[in-house]
Structure 1
Amino acid sequence: MDIKLLNIGFGNTVVANRIVAIVSPSSAPMKRLKEDAKQANKLIDATMGRRTRAIIITDSDHVILSGVQAETIAQRLLHDQGQKDGPTSKSGK
C-alpha cells in the first residue's frame, strides 16, 4: 500500500488515502460535528492556535481542524494525486 501524506499547514500532515471530506467550518452542522468529535475524543486540532479555516473528516471518524483554507488543501490533494500518476512521456520512446 502506497502511503501519501498531505500537508494541511504549519508542518502538519495527514494520510491522504484516509480523507473522506474537506469542508468549510462556517455552517451549523460543521460546528455540531466539531463538538461531537470533541466529546468522542476524536478531534485533532492542527490549527497551531490560528482560526479554523477547514475541517477534514477521515474514514476513522476523526475530525481534524486546519488553519488553511479548504480550497487550498483540496488543491494540494489534487496536485499530489496528479503526481502519483507520474509524468507523461512526450518523447514517444
Structure 2
Amino acid sequence: MGIKLVNIGFGNIVSANRIIAIVSPESAPIKRMIQEARDRGILIDATYGRRTRAVIITDSDHVILSAVQPETVAHRFNDKDNFDGDID
C-alpha cells in the first residue's frame, strides 16, 4: 500500500490521504475553526512562528497551520514527484 506525503513547509510532511481541504486563514469562519481547534487541543502549528498562509483540515478533525500559500500546498498535493511508496 502506498502513502503519498505532502511537504507543507519547513520539512513538515502530511499524509495526502488524510487531507480534506486546504484553505486560506483570512475568513471569519476559518479563524473560528482555528480557535476552536486550539481550545480542543487538535491544532497543529507548523508555521515556525511565521504568518499563517494556509490552513489544512484533515479527516481526523485536526487543523494544521502552514506558512506556505494554499496554492503551493495544492500544487505539491497534485505533484507526481511527491513521495508515493511503502512505509515500513
Q: TM-score, normalized by length of structure 1?
A: 0.84
Gaps of 5+ in 2: none
Gaps of 5+ in 1: 85-93
* CA RMSD in angstroms, aligned pairs only: 1.7
Q: How many residues align?
A: 84
Shift of 1:80: 3.3
Alignment of 1:15-26 (within 5 A): 15-26=15-26
1:8 paired to 2:47: no
1:64 match: 64
Paired letter, 1:47: T
1:76 match: 76
Q: From the two aligned structures, give the one with the greater strand fraction.
A: 2
Shift of 1:79: 1.0
Higher Rg: 1
Mapped partners of 1:78, 1:13: distance in 2 = 14
Q: Using the aligned pairs only, state the percent identity.
A: 64
Tell me which stretches of 4 or more aligned residues in structure 1 moved more than 2 Å: 80-84
Q: Residue 80 of structure 1 aligns to a residue in which SS?
A: coil
Q: Which structure has the higher relative contact order (CA within 8 Å, separation 6+)? A: 2
Paired letter, 2:78: L
Paired letter, 1:43: L
